[in-house]
């Protein structure tokens, strides 16, 4: 995938990372970078799950009541 095809993240940090040359990194540095990025992906996924649950709870609370 071409980095230019990635959606733009708030602050554009992800697109800056995607455009960075990896040629100067050693094998060990690349493995460390992957671990850091995987940890960040997990953090974002966890936050997304929390906010999605919050949204579901709010939607359920504010759902119009059924009339009898």
Give the pLDDT confidence of 10-36 residue by residue, as tens digits.
Answer: 668 888 988 999 999 999 999 999 999
pTM over 0.75: no
Q: Backbone dihedral region of 12: left (phi > 0), alpha (psi from -120 to 50 degrees) or beta?
A: left
Any domain includes 25 = yes
Any domain includes 1 = no
In the chain, the number of structural domains is 1
CA distance 44 to 46: 5
Any domain includes 32 = yes
Any domain includes 56 = yes
Please write the tens of the pLDDT for every residue from 47-65.
999 999 999 999 999 988 8
Q: In terms of residue numbers, what domain contains 21?
A: 7-62
């Amino acid at each position: 995938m071409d980095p230019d095809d990635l959606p733009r993240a708030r602050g554009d940090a992800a697109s800056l990372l995607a455009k960075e040359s990896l040629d100067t990194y050693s094998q060990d540095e690349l493995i460390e970078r992957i671990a850091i990025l995987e940890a960040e992906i997990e953090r974002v996924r966890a936050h997304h799950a929390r906010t999605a649950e919050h949204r579901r709870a709010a939607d359920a609370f504010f759902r119009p009541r059924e009339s009898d």
